[in-house]
Every structure is written in structure tokens, then in C-alpha cells.
Amino acid sequence: MELIRNSYETYTVLPQTDAQKEVSAEVIVPDTQADVYSVLTAFAVCQIKQRTLRQDALMLEGTVDITALCQEEDESRWQIIRGSVPFALEMDVPGCREGSPVQLRVEVLRCDALIRNPRKLQLQAQIGACVQLFRKDSLTVTESAGGSGEEDVQTLCDTVELELVRTVAEKKLVAADELQTEPQGSLLHHTVQWLQEEQRILSGKVMLRGCACVQAVFFREGQLRQQEYRIPFSQVVECDGMEPGDGVVADYQLLQSQVTLLEGAAPTLSCNLSGTVTVCVARRVRLPVLRDAYSTRFVTECTREPLRCPAWKTFDRTVFAEELCQPPEAAASVVDCRCRARGFVEEGGWPGAVYTLRMVYCCPMGKLHCVEHTVRVRGEEPVNAEQITVRAGWRDLTAQVEDGAIRVRFTALLQCRGLVEQTCDQVARCALDPNLRRPVPPAGTLVLRSVEPGETPWSIAKHYGSRVGQILSANKMESGQELAPGKLMLIPFSD
């Protein structure tokens, strides 16, 4: 008996690799600026200068650009100190090699600036990196079995619907513009987020359109102001074999962001941004799968094994969060609120995230203070998948003063991804012994018996070495009809 197999190209999603690193550097206060005596708050932006893939490893090189808002001896005077902390991070990524498709996420988990003396600051940061590797693979499916007329092979086939990751492609993104702005003061900090607005799927490619959202924080006369700017982008990503109707997940990573305020009569915000987008294409396919086989004439031994094809699924969870923060000094107003988030997965597939909020506020005397507050959020239901990863975001973040305390409210966005097992049994091996005939009654014999619980026409036919079609015909049944336990069945035999 010959098994007929076919292979389908797909990608296997390997377990995520995580790494963290502490970096620090000293920065000298420029000679043109006064001494500094305290740090109110610090902001950081990660710049990825180089990404190198090699055998079983990923190498990242870049800088963490840190901006510290410092107070002079005169407490009413402030100045901005900037510095860059270089880093090199090597991650062990089993199965990785040059050209491997990956999803990369690098972020600053924590940053601080410490006063060493009035002319020197110590800049510190912790960066975190997550890498998801895709490995090109193939799915082998046993579709049928062939045999000669003498062997009289009977087969049981099902049509199984599976989702295959067909293509993973990466493309560079660039967004640049000179944006006119009102006089806002000095540029203190900025954040960038890629926002996708449209996705069009064509044969062999996907068209992406959106904008890079730049949130700039300005400082002037002891006040912080935030302004949002949007720079449009569009990109066409070539995806071999892609067809309309395929499912697409686009994942964005900011690599470098150079944002500079050009002051003058007409202030301009110069923005030069670069990043990558990784496109993962999935397709639902219907495949014939051989579930069982036997010969009515010879003794056969059939071995089945699971056909495993995990699908990479996205599960979105939203949780409303609200907490009251008690700052060291009573607050009169909140002038700025920054947020960082880190996702996690608890045992049992429960997704969650830790949100770190750094708030700059005024006390009743008008003096600026800074406080950090951590909010831990957990999803309201678990995710039923393997290799779960969580990317945390937020929306509608507010921080309001209540009797000297600060009440923070936001909606936590937990984007969970994981592998959902798609399994069914298929025939892996089927051996037929042409020297060992199957003992069956003579042709024309009819056996009458009652149906046992769980039996099907196929299982009965296989047990007696008969044919399913003959059993259905003899009992005036249709294919797929269920058998009631205790029902009397005729099992016919023929040459």
C-alpha cells in the first residue's frame, strides 16, 4: 500500500527571545550653562544604529538619548541637559541566521539622571529587547493511499481547514517633514508611534498607509506643554504568493527618530524618522487528509499520528484602570504625565501589564515636583494559546488632582499573540502483508449484529474486512448518518 503525501510551505513561529541590559554614562554640564543641583525628571529615546543577524544570534548597537530637566541653585531657574549612552546587546536566538525574518521590539524600560556634582550627571537606562523568529518550514500531509485492485484498499479521508503562515516580509519605513509650530519654548522630549490607517491586499503585495504620530513636549518658564504632529507614510511590501483574501498582520518598530526644534521667527520642528514593518501573511486552506486505511483482502497495520499546524493568533484585551497616587508633596495641578508599559503573562495564560507613570506636577506654592506611580493591570480572561506574548499600550490617559492626590485613569490595551493548536490525526504508516490474507467469510455471507456505542460504519467495516459502501447499501443508510446504539446492522461480504 502506497501513501500519497503532499508538502505545503509555511513558517514556524519560534519561541520569543527576551533580553535586558543596564547602561550608563557620565555627561558634563556645558561651560555655557550654570551649575545644576537637582534633577526633576528624565526622558529617554532609544536609537537603533545597527541590527545584525548571524548564526543563532542577533546583535544590536545604538544609543539611548537621555534628556534631564535640571534645577539650578536658584530654584526658579531650570535648564535641559542632554546626553547619549551607547549600548551593544547580543541576544542568543536559536535557529537565527543572516536574512531570517524576525519581529523586533526594543524599548527603554527605565531611565534616570543623577547629580554627581554641579558640573556632572550620571545618566542611566535599562533597555529591553524582544525577538520573534520565523523559520521557513513545510507541512507534510498524507492525502490518500493507493493500492492495486488485488489489494482492495479502503480509505477514510476528511477535508481539514488549517491556517498557514505563508509569507513573512520586512520593509524599511521612512517619514520626514519640516513642521511649522507656534513658539512653545525649548523641545524637551518626543515620542513616536507608527499608526496604520489603511491596508490593501493585492496579488503579491500589500499596500500600507498611515502616519507617524510625533508627540513633542516643550518646556518654557517652568511649564510643560505637549503638542502632537502627524507625518504621513505609505509603503508597498512585496509578499511572494500573496493573494486577495489572505490575512495580514503588520508589526512596526521605530529604529531612529531625529526631532529638532529650529527656532526663529517661524519655529519649525524638523523630523527624520526611520523604522521597519514586518508583514505576516496567513491563509486558510482546505486540505484532504487520510484519517484511516485498510485492505479487505490482506492483514494491514495502520499507524496514525497528529498533524500539527499551530496558527498564530491575535487576542485583544482591554481593561479600564484607575488608581489614586499620593505624591510626596500635595499637588495643585498636573503639568505632564508620561507612561511606559511592559506586558507579562501569568500562569494559566492570564495576560497583564505593568504601567509606570511619571508625573510632573505643581504644589500649591507653584514649585515643580515629579513622582512615579506603578499600576499593575491583569486581563479579565485568560488566553488559550501557547507561546503567548503581550504588547501593552494605552489610551485616554488622564491625571487629575483630588485633594492633593493625583487620580490616574486610562484604558489598558493588551495585544496578545500566541499559537493555537490545529490538530487532527492522519495516517503516518500503513503496512500490508501480501502473504497474510485476512480471514473473512465467503462471498454472499450476511452477518447480523447490533451497534455498540461509538461505532461508525467505517469502524464496523474495518473490523469485519467489509466495505463501507456495501454496509450503507445493505442497511439503506446514507454516508455520514449516525448509528444509534443497539441498532441491528447487516454486514455483507463479497469478492
- Indicate whether 492 and 409 sit together in one domain: no
Q: What pLDDT does 446 receive?
A: 80
Q: Is 470 helix (H, G, I), strand (E, B) or coil?
A: helix
- Indicate whether 494 and 351 sit together in one domain: no
Query: What domain range includes position 51?
Result: 8-136+165-284
Q: What pLDDT does 355 receive?
A: 97
d(C-alpha 256, C-alpha 371), whole Å: 28
Who's near 274: CB < 8 A, 6+ residues apart? 172, 173, 174, 175, 254, 255, 256, 257
d(C-alpha 32, C-alpha 80), whole Å: 12
495 pLDDT band (50/70/90 cuts)?
A: low
Q: What pLDDT does 147 receive?
A: 76
Structural domain contains residue 221: yes
Query: What average pLDDT score do residues 186-214 get?
Result: 94
Structural domain contains residue 478: yes
491: domain CATH number is 3.10.350.10
Cβ distance 461 to 467 under 8 Å? Answer: yes
177 pLDDT band (50/70/90 cuts)?
A: very high
> What is the percentage of the chain residues whose pLDDT exceeds 90?
71
How far CA 374 is from CA of 113, 124, 335, 345, in Å, comes to: 19, 19, 18, 17
127 pLDDT band (50/70/90 cuts)?
A: very high
d(C-alpha 323, C-alpha 319), whole Å: 13
Of the given ranges (213-227, 269-283, 399-413), which has the lowest mean pLDDT? 213-227
Q: How far apart are the first and last CA of the chain?
A: 19
Residue-wise pLDDT tens digits, 201-225? 988 999 999 999 999 999 988 888 8
Residue-wise pLDDT tens digits, 417-468? 999 988 889 999 988 888 888 887 777 788 888 989 988 899 999 888 888 9
d(C-alpha 203, C-alpha 195), whole Å: 24
Structural domain contains residue 217: yes
Query: What average pLDDT score do residues 84-97 get?
Result: 94
> What is the percentage of the chain residues whose pLDDT exceeds 70?
100
Q: What pLDDT does 184 receive?
A: 81
Determine how many CB atoms are found less than 10 A away from the CB of residue 453: 8
How far CA 334 is from CA of 20, 67, 359, 362, in Å, comes to: 32, 20, 7, 6
- Indicate whether 35 and 120 sit together in one domain: yes
CA-atom Rg of the chain in angstroms? 32
Q: Is 467 helix (H, G, I), strand (E, B) or coil?
A: coil
Residue-wise pLDDT tens digits, 348-397? 999 999 999 999 999 998 899 999 999 999 999 999 999 999 999 999 99
Say which residue the cell 481547514 belongs to: 161
Cβ distance 466 to 441 under 8 Å? Answer: no
10 pLDDT band (50/70/90 cuts)?
A: very high
Judged against a pLDDT cut of 80, whether residue 148 lies above it is answered with no
Judged against a pLDDT cut of 70, whether residue 115 lies above it is answered with yes
Query: What average pLDDT score do residues 169-178 get?
Result: 94
- Indicate whether 203 and 76 sit together in one domain: yes
- Indicate whether 233 and 114 sit together in one domain: yes
